Amino acid sequence: MKFRPCIDLHSGSVKQIVGSTLDTKGLEENFTSEHPAEYYAEMYKSSSLTGGHVIKLGPNNDTPALSALSAYPSGLQIGGGITDSNCADWIAKGASHVIVTSYVFKDGLINYSNLNKLVEIVGKDRIVLDLSCRRKPDDTEGPYYVVTDRWQNYTDFVVDEESLKELSAYCDEFLVHGVENEGKRCGILEDLVILLKSSPIPVTYAGGVRNLEDLERVKELGGGKVDLTIGSALDIFGGDLKYEDVMEWHNRENS
């Protein structure tokens, strides 16, 4: 199990946002950094962390995203507005992988034509499918559905063992934000972590981590197969969980 770092960009700045409020009038920001994106990329490079991601949440984020990729070539994945027309360009500019949601999940359904275009252009081994998901508001015990367009629009695509197996033929990894807990530091979605353990390819979970105990819990529930991203809880993003403690945990697990 690995710690996967992140750089979330909103309106040109590194921020941490409550995921469920994206694109709403009540947008909640946990943290806005005084440091540029490349500051974090250099930090992750010096820590020898791989498989982290840069996510562009809306417009005006290309320049900071490029600066991060330049600071850590082939060390970070890029997501946000990825299509067949720009995926190869982002790889050429230093991204190890492109992370895709809305281009593949169109009008509530998965668009296999678009997915196959991406595979043809950059190859399966360069693609991460973002299966960030939520339950329907009126069904707190029901399945998790992939959500798109900054996590506001539900698709009809259910995240389960069968769909993870099916989509693994088209990508190298999955990235899954538990949207309801994203940015809230309220604890992980344990049933979602257990579900992700069934993925036949690497998968990274994000959402709700508060402390080192939550890292251990993800390790236990995910059988060591589910990697973890931490945002708002980290001290480098205004939280209480020390980055150096997470790195110590990560290095111990991967020694």
Q: What is the pLDDT of residues 215-231, one digit of tens each?
A: 999 999 999 999 999 99
Cα separation, 87 vs 228, in Å, equals 25
Nearest Cα residue to 78 out of 151, 1, 207, 67: 67
- pLDDT tens readout for residues 40-87: 999 999 999 999 999 998 899 999 999 999 999 999 999 999 999 999
3 state SS of 135: coil
- pLDDT tens readout for residues 106-137: 888 999 999 999 999 999 999 999 999 999 98
Phi/psi of residue 218, nearest 5 degrees: -60, -40
Which CATH number does the domain housing residue 118 bear?
3.20.20.70
How does residue 138 score in pLDDT terms, banded at 50, 70 and 90? confident
The predicted structure's pLDDT at residue 155: 95
pLDDT at 6 over 90: yes
How does residue 240 score in pLDDT terms, banded at 50, 70 and 90? very high
The predicted structure's pLDDT at residue 124: 98
- Domain of residue 53, residue span: 3-253
pTM for this one? 0.94
| Helix (H), strand (E) at residue 17 | strand 13-17
The predicted structure's pLDDT at residue 19: 53
The predicted structure's pLDDT at residue 166: 97
pLDDT, the chain, mean:
93
Cα separation, 185 vs 183, in Å, equals 6
- pLDDT tens readout for residues 172-225: 999 999 988 776 777 999 999 999 999 999 999 999 999 999 999 999 999 999
| Total domains, the chain | 1
pLDDT at 26 over 70: no
